[in-house]
């Protein structure tokens, strides 16, 4: 039996993207031990994977790096797989190499992604997806993966809690996750409110608003007051409960954000809106459909960023000029 330490410290969406690949490893190598290290309490993503363990990395500031080194060294991993390849994870893997671990790191393709953002997606083929890059890293570690993952196992406790809070599903349940980390990835608030109202006015439809963080929770709470059929669940549920609620939805409307990848974990169809970023960079959700992507295809300046930015080089955010009517029309189609 071998012990594999998988390091992907941040962010929520990127950790979620490791789940389909790690799930296939768990199934194909039942006698081995896989330990995932990330910064936040995200163990519910790996629920039901018997030989997968989760370690919440105690790393908040650069000075915590030495403590994290000691924490991961105690695992005594045979192989360390770095799926982030940043300065902090490079230091971690160099330290673990000194203590006898075999090291493999992801080929992240940052230069190719940077070139695509400088010259525009219009003139380039799509880059390999993050899932392909993760699979390549595991292959170099001697592990083969597959694409059979459909959804994580149902968490019965979380499912019961969701039923207690929201009752039995009746009619259509729709999720809306209107926020992302960066300004360039968020639709104008006026458009979002129009979208929420239009969805809530459809017969027998219940709309759930998803988000995280103090500011987002407060804004979603206010938007939930727009209509009696709208309810904000931001900040109210644990991650496992949020995933089980998503499992009950008909579809999720989200930006290019973590919620697209969380939807993939429960086999939920995500209608994703891409503004400053572009699917060709490789961040599309696991087994999500290309026809469910809404974006301005012809804008030569897209993408202007890999993960989102808080400014527009032309000061007009033309990539965000998508209307609530266009989104609703896409849903009908």
3-class secondary-structure state, position 65? helix
Domain boundary among 140, 165, 188: 140
Q: Which of 111, 140, 169 is the last residue of a domain?
A: 140
pLDDT at 308: 86
Do 71 and 166 belong to one domain? no
Given pLDDT bands bounded at 50, 70 and 90, which one contains residue 310?
A: confident
Q: Are 174 and 298 part of one and the same domain?
A: yes
Rounded Cα gap, residues 248 and 144, in angstroms: 32
Q: Give the domain range for residue 313.
A: 156-332
Report if residue 79 sits inside a domain: yes
Query: 3-class DSSP state for residue 153?
Result: coil
Q: What is the mean pLDDT of the chain?
A: 94
Q: Indicate if 170 and 93 belong to the same structural domain.
A: no
Q: Is the model's pLDDT at 181 over the cut of 90? A: no
DSSP state of 44: G
The average pLDDT across 2-16 equals: 95
> pLDDT band at 13, cuts 50/70/90?
very high
The tally of domains found in the chain comes to: 2
Same domain, 122 and 191: no
- The pLDDT, as a whole number, for residue 325 is 94
User: For a pLDDT cut of 90, what percent of the chain falls above it?
Assistant: 85
Q: With contact defined as beta carbons under 8 Å apart, do 190 and 269 qualify?
A: no
Same domain (yes/no): 215, 248: yes
Range 268-274 average pLDDT? 96
Give the mean model confidence (pLDDT) for residues 9-26. 96
Are the CB atoms for 92 and 7 separated by under 8 Å?
Answer: yes
Please state whether 181 falls in left (phi above 0), alpha (psi between -120 and 50) or beta: alpha
Cα separation of 252 and 195, whole Å? Answer: 13
What pLDDT digit, counting tens, does each position of 40-93 carry? 999 999 999 999 999 999 888 888 899 999 999 999 999 999 999 999 999 999
Tens-place pLDDT, residues 275-294:
999 999 999 999 999 999 99
Q: What 3-state DSSP class applies to 118?
A: helix
Question: What pLDDT is stored for residue 131 in this prediction?
Answer: 97
Q: Same domain for 274 and 327?
A: yes
For the cut 90, the answer to whether the pLDDT of residue 196 exceeds it is yes
In this predicted model, what pLDDT tens digit does every residue of 139-176 receive, in sequence order? Answer: 999 999 999 999 999 999 999 999 999 999 999 999 99
What gap in Å lies between CA 159 and CA 77, rounded to an integer? 34
For residue 226, give Cα distances in angstroms to 194, 199, 220, 250: 10, 12, 10, 21
Looking at the fold, whether 120 and 178 belong to one and the same domain comes out as: no
Q: Identify the bridge partners of residue 184 per DSSP, sorted by sequence position.
A: none
Structural domain ending residue among the three candidates 140, 168, 198: 140
Same domain, 92 and 172: no
Mark whether 31 and 97 lie in a shared domain. Answer: yes
Question: What's the CA gap between 286 and 260, in Å, rounded?
Answer: 9
Please give the Cα distance from 148 to 287 (Å, whole number). Answer: 10
97, part of any domain: yes
User: What are the pLDDT digits (tens) for 211-258?
Assistant: 998 999 999 999 999 899 999 999 999 999 999 999 999 999 999 999
Same domain as 207, residue 116: no
In the prediction, which pLDDT does 63 show?
Answer: 84
Read off the pLDDT band of 22 (50, 70, 90): very high
The whole-angstrom separation of Cα 292 and Cα 68 is 40
What pLDDT was estimated at residue 311? 86
In this structure, the number of other CB atoms found within 10 A of the CB of residue 301 comes to 17
Same-domain pairing of 184 and 118: no
Distance from the Cα of residue 17 to its chain's centroid: 6
CATH of the domain at 17: 3.40.50.2000
Whether 151 maps to a domain, the answer reads no
Asked if pLDDT for residue 315 goes beyond 90, the answer is no
Distance CA 279, CA 203 (A): 33
Contact 245, 220 (CB under 8 A): no
Residue 148 lies in a domain: no
Predicted confidence at residue 7, as pLDDT, reads: 97
Please indicate, yes or no, if residue 217 is contained in any of the structural domains: yes
Does residue 234 sit within a domain? yes
Say if residue 173 is in the same domain as residue 123.
Answer: no
* Residue 150 belongs to a domain: no
Q: Is residue 146 part of a domain?
A: no
């Amino acid at each position: 039996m071998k012990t594999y330490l998988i390091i992907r410290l941040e962010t929520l969406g990127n950790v979620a993207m490791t789940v389909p690949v790690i799930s296939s490893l768990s199934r194909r190598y039942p006698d081995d031990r896989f330990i995932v290290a990330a910064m936040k309490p995200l163990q519910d993503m790996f629920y039901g994977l018997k030989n997968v363990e989760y370690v919440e990395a105690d790393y908040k500031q650069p000075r915590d790096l030495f403590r994290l080194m000691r924490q991961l060294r105690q695992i005594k991993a045979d192989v360390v797989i770095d799926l982030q390849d940043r300065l902090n994870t490079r230091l971690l893997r160099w330290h673990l190499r000194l203590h006898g671990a075999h090291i493999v790191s992801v080929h992240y393709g940052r230069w190719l992604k940077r070139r695509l953002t400088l010259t525009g997606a219009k003139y380039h083929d799509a880059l390999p997806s993050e899932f392909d890059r993760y699979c390549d890293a595991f292959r170099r570690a001697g592990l083969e993966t597959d694409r059979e993952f459909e959804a994580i196992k149902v968490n019965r406790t979380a499912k019961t809690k969701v039923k207690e809070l929201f009752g039995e599903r009746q009619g259509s349940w729709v999720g809306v996750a209107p926020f992302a980390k960066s300004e360039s990835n968020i639709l104008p608030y006026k458009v979002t409110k129009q979208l929420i109202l239009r969805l809530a006015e459809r017969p027998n439809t219940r709309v759930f608003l998803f988000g995280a963080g103090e500011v987002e929770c407060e804004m979603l709470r206010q938007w939930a007051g727009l209509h009696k059929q709208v309810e904000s669940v931001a900040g109210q549920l644990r991650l496992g409960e949020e995933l089980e609620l998503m499992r009950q939805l008909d579809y999720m409307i989200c930006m290019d954000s973590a919620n697209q990848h969380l939807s993939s974990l429960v086999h939920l169809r995500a209608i994703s809106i891409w503004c400053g970023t572009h699917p060709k960079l490789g961040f599309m959700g696991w087994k999500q459909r290309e026809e469910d992507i809404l974006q301005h295809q012809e804008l030569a300046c897209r993408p202007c960023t890999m993960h989102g930015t808080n400014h527009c080089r032309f000061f007009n955010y033309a990539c965000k000029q998508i209307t609530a009517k266009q989104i609703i029309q896409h849903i009908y189609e």
